[in-house]
Amino acid sequence: MVMRRKLAILLATLVLVCGARPAAAVPTENYGQYSLMFERSAGQYWAGGTAAGQWVWTPLSKTTSDISWGDPKAWPPKSAERFVREGDWVLLDGFNDGAGRPLTQVQRVTSEKIGDATCAGMQPLPSTGGRQHYVKWTIPSAGYCLDATGTIKPLDGATAVNFRHLQKWLPPHPCSNPTFANQTCITQIEQWWDDNKHPYSLQLSRSIELARGLGMAFTNRTTVPLIWNADGKSYWHY
């Protein structure tokens, strides 16, 4: 009986001690660690042995940043995209004639849905002032799908463009390209339809990886409008 009581007391003590220990925290990552959107960051991606393009983030505040894409030989480009972080979302606000300048084209959605990584179980996504929900700030452990339709309206009164943007975001995974091995990436798989000076049709289909601590366009695998591959080769801060 004494031995049984001792064992019972020991087991009860172990249960109390183990139960009192907090569960191990699961590290969370965010889109900023992969895109570097709030850092003065830049990079070049190469195809066929030459620089095929360059990107540069221009942070404007703690919540707003412009990204420019273009030919490094003709820099700066005359356009940029504006992204705004609000809560746990990064929203696409519109486009301008150069980083830091006022918006000249405002993008607003008329419908948005969210579902799993296969685009199943799609549900309406409540509007945030009409700005497009582009990507979640906190990276979830499972992939997800975003489907947005709407318009891009030039402020000069030109004809508005109708668009649809379908995205699949995949969680962190090992990745490499010809220059950088043993990295960690998230993947954006996207398709874009519009009627910008042509009948409404699919204009872009591609898969892009963003590498943690490096930034955008780590790999680019495009199938529409043509089959084209590019890989990030140099990254820097300015």
The model's pLDDT over 139-164, given as tens digits with 9 standing for 90+, comes to 999 999 999 999 999 999 899 999 99
Domain count for the chain: 1
Q: How many CA atoms lie within 13 A of 52 on its CB side?
A: 15
pLDDT score of 190: 98
Whether residue 70 is predicted with pLDDT greater than 60 in this model: the reply is yes
Provide the domain limits for residue 217: 29-237
Indicate the range of 24-33, 70-79, 190-199 predicted with least confidence: 24-33
Whether residue 178 is predicted with pLDDT greater than 60 in this model: the reply is yes
Residue 4 lies in a domain: no
Q: How many CB atoms lie within 10 A of CB 132?
A: 26
Residue 68 to residue 96: CA distance in whole angstroms: 10
Quick one: pLDDT band at residue 18, thresholds 50, 70, 90? very low
Q: What residues contact residue 113 under an 8 Å CB cut-off, 6+ apart?
A: 122, 123, 124, 125, 146, 147, 148
pLDDT score of 175: 98
Whether residue 121 is predicted with pLDDT greater than 60 in this model: the reply is yes
Residue 188 lies in a domain: yes
Whether residue 57 is predicted with pLDDT greater than 60 in this model: the reply is yes
Residue 18 lies in a domain: no
Residue 9 lies in a domain: no
Average pLDDT of the chain, as a whole number: 91
Residue 5 lies in a domain: no
Whether residue 212 is predicted with pLDDT greater than 80 in this model: the reply is yes
8-state DSSP, 71 = -
Dig out the tokens for 101 from the structure: 């300048």
Whether residue 14 is predicted with pLDDT greater than 90 in this model: the reply is no
Residue 149 to residue 133: CA distance in whole angstroms: 11
Quick one: pLDDT band at residue 3, thresholds 50, 70, 90? very low
pLDDT score of 83: 98
pLDDT score of 26: 52
Dig out the tokens for 229 from the structure: 């591959």
Higher pLDDT, 225 or 22: 225
User: β-strand 64-70 against 50-59: which pairing, if any?
Assistant: antiparallel
pLDDT score of 149: 98
What pTM value is reported for the model?
A: 0.88
